[in-house]
Amino acid sequence: MQLDRLLQKHGFGTRKGCRGLVRNERVTVNGEICTDPFAEFETSGLIFTVDDIVWPYAEFACLMLNKPSGYECSRKPLHHPSVLSLLPLPLRERGVQPIGRLDEDTTGLLLITDDGQLNHVLSSAKRKVPKVYLAMTKHAVEQDQIEQLLNGVLLNDEPEPIRAAACEIAGSHLLRLTVTEGKYHQVKRMVAAAGNRVEALQRESIGDLSLPGDLAPGDWRWLSAVDLKKLGYLL
């Protein structure tokens, strides 16, 4: 791929602007400064830098982020900053978006991509991708509440009871709940219907992919091939 096109694809501006980056010696490819914006490179395994920041060539940007509280999962937030503001500008310029949404006060594993197919696979209700949440509750968790959630609770505007795919007591005021739907405020509404209230909520995993313990709130990283396999998505 031609270098100016490669940089444009990765969110570094217009073709003209990317040519300027190259000619001003701000770009290296595989460790060497390149001053020819029209130079052609094989993209497989390619590593480049812009202003000494390292970037891998990525046909699609597939990321995980440990979402902190106080951010909206929207490109056009209304009341709080967009979670996308936690990403470097070139990634935002690629047009990435969250896969599904977490409420402003919900934390934990959030996937972000510009790969429409990945977004569709993980968002499709037919796929029933399991998502595990850890909920801190206002009142002590009781076994009968767990049984209600497993047997199904009736939510407003839902014709049939909604069941948790799995549910367990994780502490006196903690429960771990697995859902396969993506309904509005689903976990909070389910817990309320069972007679308790969610005070804090964290998403721990999607499919077989768990939030890494060393990924701090607000930090992000690229999804690896192993990560995508855990999501049931093979490139």
Contact (CB, 8 A) for 139 and 117: no
Question: 38-75: per-residue pLDDT in tens?
Answer: 999 999 989 999 999 999 999 999 999 999 999 999 88
Tokens 């709940």 belong to residue: 177
Please report which confidence band the pLDDT of residue 234 belongs to, taking 50, 70 and 90 as the band edges.
Answer: low
Distant-in-sequence, close-in-space partners of 17: CB < 8 Å, separation ≥ 6: none
CA distance 207 to 149: 20
Please report which confidence band the pLDDT of residue 218 belongs to, taking 50, 70 and 90 as the band edges.
Answer: very high
Domain coordinates in residue numbering, the chain: 3-56, 62-125+209-230, 130-206
Question: 66-116: per-residue pLDDT in tens?
Answer: 999 999 998 887 889 999 999 999 999 998 999 988 999 999 999 999 999
Question: 9-23: per-residue pLDDT in tens?
Answer: 999 999 999 999 999
Contact (CB, 8 A) for 3 and 36: yes
pLDDT at 89: 94
Which residues carry out catalysis? 103
Tokens 């405020």 belong to residue: 185
Question: 181-208: per-residue pLDDT in tens?
Answer: 878 889 999 999 999 999 999 999 999 9
Q: Which of the following CATH numbers is that of domain 130-206: 2.40.10.10, 3.30.300.20, 3.30.70.1560, 3.40.640.10?
A: 3.30.70.1560
Prediction pTM value = 0.90
Q: Is residue 235 predicted with pLDDT exceeding 60?
A: no
Q: Which of the following CATH numbers is that of domain 62-125+209-230: 3.40.50.300, 3.30.70.580, 3.40.50.720, 3.30.390.10?
A: 3.30.70.580
Contact (CB, 8 A) for 48 and 28: yes
Q: Strand pairing partners for 220?
A: 65
Chain center to CA of 59: 17
Beta carbons within 10 angstroms of residue 205's beta carbon: 17
